[in-house]
Structure 1
Amino acid sequence: MNEHPEPGRPWQGPGNGPAGWGLPPDPHGGGLDPYTPSAGGYMPAEGATPLPGEPTLLTIGDIAVTQNTVITPAGRFPIKGTVWTVTDMSRAEQHTPTWAIVVAILVFWWTCLLGLLFLLVKETRVNGHVQVTVQGAGHHHSTLVPVSNRVIVTQVNHQVNHARSLAA
């Protein structure tokens, strides 16, 4: 069933869709809140009921972590005893930038081989993603975090180490 909203009419989310979808309507008139059971979102796992007003300490992709709870799209579960795994699937590529090629061509006409030195200039591009997996209390969830530089890889590793310290 692939239905698109009518032109000029904003998408209201599945909660406000046809009754045939089998989802309760959203009482707030917008999309579903995935972490509020009263709005038809995901139900917490047994024993993982967070404290009222418990703040989110960190977010890794679509995984949120509070002091006592891990929140994923599949549900909530206690953070104690969880196992966190990080897999760096990024890669670094070196290439000659466009500006160096243009300068090499322009300088080559004036000083012959001196312009070729600009072709030795290299830039490093990082792309790919980091996979973070959390397992615990009968749940397993994996998320991918896109990477555009090495700082993001380091940041994700620090966040997972923080989550590991909360799980201990």
Structure 2
Amino acid sequence: MTLVPNFPDNWAQPLMSLGNVHVTEKQVMTPAGTWPLAQVNVTSIDQTSTTTHTPGWAIVLVIVFIWFFLLSLLFLLARETRVQGYVAVHIQAGPQSYTEQIPVRNAYQRAEVFNRVAYLQRLIGQARHGYGI
């Protein structure tokens, strides 16, 4: 038997979450406070770094096969890209603000954070213009 928690009537299902930031149809909830969606400004700052290097497997293959084929030097052309760092999402409502730093380990996670910020900005625009969500 599964027990369903008894939520208050004003509780709304979050439309999206971004770290510790949760967004419903009418408000943005952060650890610093809860604000109406139409009164929030959201910005994002990319604090990631992208590096490329020769992967270890390519170096090992060059060392193993150099005695047999000089073409094994082509393995050194292999490149691997690493993305690391944080994307800072700054939420401001009047004089109050909150910044969430979301860790990023690859390009997919970085794009996902920016897509969520863009979605949040669209929700804010809809709330300001009264179109409903």
The question of a shared fold, defined as TM-score above 0.5 by the shorter chain, is answered with: yes
What's the CA shift for 1:63?
A: 0.9
Question: What secondary structure, in the 3-state scheme, does the structure 1 residue paired with 2:38 have?
Answer: coil
What is residue 38 of structure 2 aligned with on the other side? 80
2:93 and 2:64 map into 1 onto residues whose CA distance is 61
Q: TM-score, normalised by structure 1?
A: 0.65
Q: Structure 1: where are the runs of 5+ without partners?
A: 1-49
What is residue 120 of structure 1 aligned with on the other side? 77
Question: What secondary structure, in the 3-state scheme, does the structure 2 residue paired with 1:143 have?
Answer: strand
2:36 and 2:115 map into 1 onto residues whose CA distance is 20
What is residue 105 of structure 1 aligned with on the other side? 63
1:151 and 1:86 map into 2 onto residues whose CA distance is 16
Q: TM-score, normalised by structure 2?
A: 0.81
1:125 and 1:157 map into 2 onto residues whose CA distance is 18
- For the pair shown, which has the larger CA radius of gyration, 1 or 2? 1
Identity of aligned residues (%): 36
Question: What secondary structure, in the 3-state scheme, does the structure 1 residue paired with 2:101 have?
Answer: strand
Matched residue type, 1:80: A
1:129 and 1:91 map into 2 onto residues whose CA distance is 9
What is residue 162 of structure 1 aligned with on the other side? 119
What's the CA shift for 1:51?
A: 6.3
Q: Detail structure 1 runs of 4+ shifted over 3 Å in the superposition.
A: none
What's the CA shift for 1:145?
A: 0.8
Residue pairs, 1:11-90, within 5 angstroms: 52-90=10-48
Matched residue type, 1:118: F
Q: Does structure 1 residue 146 correspond to structure 2 residue 114?
A: no
What's the CA shift for 1:137?
A: 3.7
Question: What secondary structure, in the 3-state scheme, does the structure 2 residue paired with 1:56 have?
Answer: coil
Q: Which has the higher contact order (CA 8 A, sep 6+)?
A: 2
